[in-house]
Amino acid sequence: MGVGYSPRMLLSPKARLAYLAVILLAAGVSVLLFEPQRLLSAGWPPQLSGAGAVLVFGLAYGVCTAALVPRPILNLAAGALFGTQAGFAAALGGTVLGAGLSFALGRTLGQEALRPYVRGRWLRAADGQLSRHGFRSMLAIRLFPGMPFAVANYAAAVSRMRYAPFLLATGLGSVPNTLAYVVAGSQATSPTSPAFLVSTGFIVLSASVAAVVGWRKRHRLREVTAAASPASPPDAVREPAETVRSR
């Protein structure tokens, strides 16, 4: 007698998490096999031009970032293909779209299954930061992109952060870095031009600031988790003395 599977089992949190894992694995394998970033860099589809090409590129950009394609490659391609203004519009629109797709996948398929595992001190502190101060936390992550784009998307999805603050912070916070890459891509044929030098300098500076901010945030999380621990060593030492005095 075969084992039956009810609809409830197929839609359980663990089953949905398994679906998410399969989707991400398939997306990663597809990126490795078909290299869609190369197609976009070559101006796919070649028969399109003008606003239609920008729109298709933006849509494909969003799907590719949700499939874990690195954004810097796509930003450079957007600038090289469409110039600064149209390339920036396509790249920023694709960034928000890709973040929204990843957030929706993580929230729908992974949140219920993963939230019970948010138990470590660092995980609880990061979850609390995103849940209580979602907009400003995500804005800082996007402005100083030390955390990988996909990791930030799924971390926000597992937290209790809402859609609107997540998308708004992503759109606003991604402007400087995206623009810098697009300008660098549009000026790649003139590496000594002021625009190229300024944009590449900004990219290096933002990466350096991200490293510093990440280092300081790490220590801040340590302080928060230490303060949130139920019994720190000083409390354990003071408690007996206070008990004796009360008696």
Give the pLDDT means over successive 10-residue stretches in the chain (247 positions).
60 80 89 87 82 94 92 95 96 97 89 67 71 89 86 88 94 96 94 94 88 70 56 44 45
pLDDT at 21: 87
pLDDT at 81: 94
Tokens of 204: 């290096």
Distances from the Cα of 178 to the Cα of 29, 141, 199, angstroms: 26, 14, 10
pTM over the 0.75 mark: yes
Q: Indicate the helix (H) or strand (E) that contains 119.
A: none
Q: Find the angle CA(144)-CA(123)-CA(208) to the nearest 5 degrees.
A: 20
Measure the CA dihedral 175/178/179/185, to 10°.
Answer: -170
pLDDT at 122: 56
Q: Among all chains, which residue has been given the structure tokens 């949700």?
A: 66
